[in-house]
Structure 1
């Protein structure tokens, strides 16, 4: 738990033991930590350098712990300052990058990444840098990366990044296909299925795309930056997304939904939202949970094939999901 402030497992165990005991000599502490006396003494010296432990002046040969509230507080403050400096440096570098990319040369709009490890690393970086949405087309034979098997996906989803993934039907027959899809759906990711996707594709925040290259001796991919080509790739994803059928996580596992319409509760939610109520107000008025309201709104957006609530309102009128005088 204290690795974030620079302590390794042995240092933390030694400090916790000293806090618990009040004072201890090296042999006794070594037995408690189940490690050699030399390793124990080195850990104590490291704690001493960080102000977390000191040799007792009244009891030679024994070590005492510094008060956690003071000692750990000082280390936390130091780490916060270091993080603030790192954030400032990152912001300055980002500003410098934006300034240099304001008028990018044509050859800077597309990168070629070669090698399985390099492609996988680039995909990982894109997900870790995502702030809004990751869209992916996934084939039945992911060679390097896929839209459903990266640990970074769980981290990004935990930060509130939305995922929309279209998988080929053959993905459901892969050895771990259903397991990975179940995990994705349990994180409230939106997953759809089609018979075949035109290409593997990942689009992040509509600002960056990754397109694997085929027919090469080693795996490679194109990284496409903001450009007309990126807009074309984003449009390709949206067209496939509109034609795909949603996958749901039900009592019997992952199931495929046919095209359907909103139920009575959906229509009530739509009417209240179009009347100007917030999600929280709608949830309170209909005696629903806030997450339930938000989940139903996301499903309505899927059914309408739209990406914004403004578009949803327009489609609701056009499809007759709510009366025009609401």
Structure 2
């Protein structure tokens, strides 16, 4: 089966990726041969080969100019990587500069300025997306029974955050369980690493990113709830909101009982971490994903009632988990 997944990192879309992948697996091929082996027309293949040749991804055989060979991926990608690294370095310098400016301004803020008002449903959805896109460790969420700030199907930033290892802890009201399709979506989210718990009622909608910034609607209920929101910055008020979530999380019950959780697996994971293996090395040793390892460690820390991996090791020994 021909792999038509785009090679975005190399700047290739689906059709170009098909031709380049096929050439990588063959000593050489003509446009007609490639068209016969793919779902592309001869005309499309010819145009793609011209574009790939211009971009340096393929070259013509000296002895048979109508036949093409693929350039080594390492040779093609090296200049792309160098350019991306240059842009990332420039972006990082800009981030450092702007963050310094922001801190200077934040130091001059009056007490009311720790809260920004976001007006309009579109602006609220935009801030919600930015909040999740900027998260690096965790996102904590309250979900009420009535209409959400943004439909789950439209919340692409959550999928992206989960994919890069951000931990999602979501508390839903009992009424949310009655939404059509919710349970199926929640099961898939659980497979992706999201933890979902349930309480009979919650005070408001809430999103907290990394404990550093929070978004909650100006009106928790009623028709105008999505028309505006409050963005809370570091302050005693944010600490109070964060503590409210933690208290609710401890009181909530898990939506799903843990399936397939083997204490022997946890003991093996703890043993590997105790001897100094990194998360990545432990994942490779156990044959599971890095994200799963990180989630299990977070769960064990929470189960042990400690706040660090070092304390987890000591507590695991004390409790006889090892």
Matched, 1:183 2:150: no
Q: Could you say if the C-alpha distance between residues 27 and 99 of structure 1 is closer, same or farther in structure 2, counting changes exceeding 3 Å?
A: same
Instruction: Give 1:237-248 correspondences, 5 Å limit.
Output: 237-248=245-256
Q: Aligned partners of 1:152, 1:80: CA distance in 2, in Å?
A: 25
Matched, 1:96 2:97: yes
How much is the aligned-residue C-alpha RMSD, in angstroms? 4.2
Matched, 1:235 2:243: yes
CA contact (8 A) 1:185 1:249 kept: no
CA contact (8 A) 1:148 1:181 kept: no
Which structure has the larger Rg over C-alpha atoms? 1
Instruction: Give 1:58-207 correspondences, 5 Å limit.
Output: 58-59=63-64, 62-66=66-70, 68-69=71-72, 72-103=73-104, 104=106, 105-106=109-110, 109-145=114-150, 150-207=155-212
Residues 155-199 of structure 1, C-alpha deviations (whole Å, 9 max, x = no match) = 433433222221111112211222233233334543322111000
Per-residue deviation at 1:139?
Answer: 0.7
Q: Could you say if the C-alpha distance between residues 147 and 162 of structure 1 is closer, same or farther in structure 2, counting changes exceeding 3 Å?
A: farther
Q: Aligned partners of 2:153, 2:300: CA distance in 1, in Å?
A: 20
Q: Which of the numbers 193, 217, 221 marks the counterpart of 1:212?
A: 217
Aligned to 1:257: none
Moved more, 119-128 or 131-140: 119-128
Give SS of 2:198's match: strand
CA contact (8 A) 1:147 1:165 kept: no
CA contact (8 A) 1:148 1:184 kept: no
CA contact (8 A) 1:207 1:226 kept: yes
Q: Given the two structures, how large is their TM-score scaled by the length of structure 2?
A: 0.71
Q: Could you say if the C-alpha distance between residues 311 and 164 of structure 1 is closer, same or farther in structure 2, counting changes exceeding 3 Å?
A: farther
Moved more, 210-219 or 199-208: 210-219
Q: Aligned partners of 2:226, 2:166: CA distance in 1, in Å?
A: 31
Q: Aligned partners of 1:242, 1:54: CA distance in 2, in Å?
A: 61
CA contact (8 A) 1:18 1:63 kept: no
CA contact (8 A) 1:206 1:234 kept: yes
Give SS of 1:141's match: coil
CA contact (8 A) 2:115 2:231 kept: yes
Residues 49-108 of structure 1, C-alpha deviations (whole Å, 9 max, x = no match) = 122334455445x13224x32xx2222111211221122122112211221121323476
CA contact (8 A) 2:217 2:225 kept: no
Structure 1: unaligned runs, 5 residues or longer: 252-264, 283-288
Per-residue deviation at 1:204?
Answer: 0.7
Residues 233-278 of structure 1, C-alpha deviations (whole Å, 9 max, x = no match) = 2122123223323333356xxxxxxxxxxxxx79x98xxx9xxx88
Residues 111-154 of structure 1, C-alpha deviations (whole Å, 9 max, x = no match) = 44344444333323322321122111111124233789844334
Give SS of 2:216's match: strand
Q: Could you say if the C-alpha distance between residues 15 and 245 of structure 1 is closer, same or farther in structure 2, counting changes exceeding 3 Å?
A: closer
Q: Could you say if the C-alpha distance between residues 33 and 296 of structure 1 is closer, same or farther in structure 2, counting changes exceeding 3 Å?
A: closer
Give SS of 1:136's match: strand
Q: Could you say if the C-alpha distance between residues 296 and 111 of structure 1 is closer, same or farther in structure 2, counting changes exceeding 3 Å?
A: closer
Q: Aligned partners of 2:258, 2:218: CA distance in 1, in Å?
A: 36
Residues 283-319 of structure 1, C-alpha deviations (whole Å, 9 max, x = no match) = xxxxxx8989984872672585x755689899x8xxx
CA contact (8 A) 2:19 2:34 kept: yes
Give SS of 1:197's match: coil
CA contact (8 A) 1:136 1:147 kept: no
What is the aligned residue count?
288
Q: Aligned partners of 2:197, 2:136: CA distance in 1, in Å?
A: 22
Q: Given the two structures, how large is their TM-score scaled by the length of structure 1?
A: 0.70
Per-residue deviation at 1:281?
Answer: 5.5
CA contact (8 A) 1:111 1:224 kept: yes
Q: Could you say if the C-alpha distance between residues 244 and 10 of structure 1 is closer, same or farther in structure 2, counting changes exceeding 3 Å?
A: closer
Q: Aligned partners of 1:218, 1:203: CA distance in 2, in Å?
A: 17
